[in-house]
């Protein structure tokens, strides 16, 4: 059993997917000047900043135990642990916990997929 409401995890999955999409797409209506490197950098940062900040805020608002559970879920979904090793995943997440949990999770390219897989392994379907 996970120590975090599955609906909260699904919300984080949704926001992580939005972050991934925004990170890899451009605004078709107003693409930046490809010769202007400053404009290119600013254009890429604008979409990322909004979604990134929202996702960081959601994760930072979780209690430390919930953040640890989220990290353990990510590890489980990534295949670092089997479902039978859930207690080990939680213990490792507790041992490694720090105040940069959101940044750590956002640095994981397939975060949404890993969290979704972990929920399924725990018996929570996609409702």
Res 1: pLDDT: 72
Scan for tokens 């720090």, then name that residue. 98
**Domain ranges across the chain:** 6-121
Res 69: pLDDT: 97
Whether the Cβ atoms of residue 105 and residue 111 lie closer than 8 Å to each other: yes
Q: What CA–CA distance (Å, rounded) separates 127 from 123?
A: 11
Of 39, 5, 26, 36, which Cα lies nearest the Cα of 115?
Answer: 5
Res 49: pLDDT: 55
Helices 111-121 and 64-78 sit at what angle, rounded to 10 degrees?
Answer: 90
- Provide DSSP, 25-47: ---TTSPPPTT-HHHHHHHHHHH
Least confident of 66-70, 97-101, 122-126: 122-126
In tens, the pLDDT along 15-61 reads 999 887 655 444 444 444 445 455 445 434 444 455 688 899 999 99
Q: For the whole model, what pTM was predicted?
A: 0.77
For residue 77, what pLDDT band results from cuts at 50, 70 and 90?
very high
Whether the Cβ atoms of residue 75 and residue 29 lie closer than 8 Å to each other: no
Residues whose CB falls within 8 Å of the CB of residue 88, separated by 6 or more in sequence, listed in order: 81
In tens, the pLDDT along 102-121 reads 999 999 989 999 999 999 99
Q: What CA–CA distance (Å, rounded) separates 67 from 69?
A: 5
């Amino acid at each position: 059993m996970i120590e975090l409401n599955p609906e909260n995890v699904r919300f984080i999955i949704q926001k992580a997917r939005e972050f991934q999409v925004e990170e890899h797409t451009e605004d078709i209506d107003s693409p930046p000047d490809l010769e202007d490197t400053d404009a290119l950098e600013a254009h890429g940062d604008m979409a990322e900043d909004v979604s990134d900040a929202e996702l960081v805020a959601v994760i930072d608002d979780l209690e430390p135990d919930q953040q640890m559970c989220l990290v353990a879920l990510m590890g489980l979904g990534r295949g670092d642990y089997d479902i039978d090793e859930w207690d080990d995943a939680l213990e490792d997440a507790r041992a490694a916990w720090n105040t940069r949990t959101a940044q750590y999770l956002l640095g994981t390219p397939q975060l949404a997929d890993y969290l979704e897989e972990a929920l399924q392994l725990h018996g929570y379907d996609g409702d």
